[in-house]
Amino acid sequence: MKRILSLTTLLISVPALSATQQYNASLDNSQWYLSSSSPIQCTLEHPIPRYGQANFEAKASKKINLDFRLDSFREMPTTESVQLKSVPPQWRPGSAPQLIDTVKFYQQYDGYVTKQSAWRMLNELERGQYPTFYYHDWYNNDQVVSVGLSSINFNKSFDEFNHCISQLLPYNFEDISYSILRYKKNGSLLTTFSKKRLKMIGEYIKHDDNINVILISGYSDSYGGEFTNKQLSEQRANSVKEYLSTLGFSDEKIKVSGLGEKHHIADNRTIIGRDQNRRVIISIEKEDI
């Protein structure tokens, strides 16, 4: 008889399958720790012996966010449909596993769980459950593999992770990567809004080690002499550089230019137009990782 079993059928009795290859930390070697804790990123990690690493990650953003990544020592050779269940520990018999989600692990990529399902995994761990993934193992003749996250030693690190999340900035890199700062007339004094904007930029970049370069370009209106306006635009751009330097950002990564009356964006014959032309543009580039 030809053997045809769907993943769903095979997993109905997964906990009882002797053919299932199980990976999870034991009572003696279950570890949870924060590998990154800053205002721009919080990462909670859990090694899974002989399998790889589990990571929960939240980042600075306007929105609530959480991603889970399951790193394996071996790449996923095919795209697999994966069941994620909340499994009671062995010392809590009698409770049936509960389905959290069905996800896909894509070929040659790490396993990902996002949004509400990732939060559910944390909640289940807090309750003492083991969030566990089940899928067919291509490397071992399609044997079913279970990869579990141990809740042993979880709560202390979870408290630290929650505290880190509470300190995340309410904006991300995309929000500050391109900014226009406005100046008051005949000087290098920023408007109130621009002062707040510059402070936001500084608060972010001092925590991001992947920033490659910051381009600062100063511009003026055409009120006054051309030479004076060019000097004023340079002064404004350099004042921004000095501020960022005081935060510990490397001078070598900051490129400054004063362009004076070039590239007006509004009519200089009006007060509103001149206000718009007096500006410094900050463009920030970072390394993709």
Kindly state whether residue 206 falls inside one of the protein's structural domains.
yes
252 and 158, same structural domain? no
Query: Does residue 215 share a domain with residue 84?
Result: no
Domain membership of residue 162 (yes or no) is yes
In a domain, 268, yes or no: yes
Whether residue 188 is found in the same domain as residue 93: no
Measure the CA–CA gap between 7 and 267, rounded to whole angstroms. Answer: 66
Is 93 part of a structural domain of the chain? yes
Taking the C-alpha atoms of residue 226 and residue 228, their distance in angstroms, rounded to an integer, is 6
Last residue of a domain, one of 166, 187, 216: 166
The confidence band for 133, taking pLDDT boundaries of 50, 70 and 90, is: very high
Task: Tell me the mean pLDDT in the region 234-239.
Answer: 87
Spatial separation of the C-alpha atoms in residues 289 and 44, rounded to whole Å = 18
* Sheet strands (E) in the chain: 21-23, 33-38, 41-48, 52-59, 67-72, 80-87, 98-105, 111-114, 130-137, 143-148, 178-182, 211-219, 254-258, 279-286
Q: Would you say residue 193 lies in a domain?
A: yes
Q: Model pTM?
A: 0.82
Same domain, 57 and 145: yes
Residue 2: inside a domain: no
pLDDT number for residue 235: 86
CATH number at residue 243: 3.30.1330.60
Whether 1 maps to a domain, the answer reads no
Q: First vs last Cα of the chain: how many Å apart? A: 50
Which of 106, 138, 166 finishes a domain? 166
* Per-residue confidence band for 234, with pLDDT thresholds at 50, 70 and 90: confident
Mind listing the pLDDT tens digit for each residue in 45-73? Answer: 999 999 999 999 999 999 999 999 999 99
User: Is the domain of 55 the same as that of 88?
Assistant: yes
Looking at 116, 143, 166, the residue that finishes a domain is 166
The answer to whether residues 14 and 106 belong to one domain is yes
Kindly state whether residues 161 and 19 are assigned to the same domain. yes
Domain CATH for 62:
2.60.40.2540
Whether residue 142 is found in the same domain as residue 71: yes
Cα–Cα distance for residue pair 181/253, rounded to 1 Å? 20
**Number of domains composing the chain:** 2
- Indicate if the alpha-carbon torsion angle 266, 269, 270, 275 is positive or negative: positive
CB 257 within 8 A of CB 218: yes
| Helical segments of the chain, H only | 7-11, 115-126, 155-166, 173-176, 192-205, 226-246, 271-277
Q: Which residue range is the domain that position 43 belongs to? A: 7-166
Q: Are residues 38 and 135 in the same domain?
A: yes
> Residue 140 falls within a domain, yes or no?
yes
Together in a domain, 269 and 187: yes
Distant-in-sequence, close-in-space partners of 95: CB < 8 Å, separation ≥ 6: 88
pLDDT tens per residue, range 242-253: 999 998 888 889
Same domain, 120 and 162: yes
The verdict on 147 and 45 lying in the same domain is yes
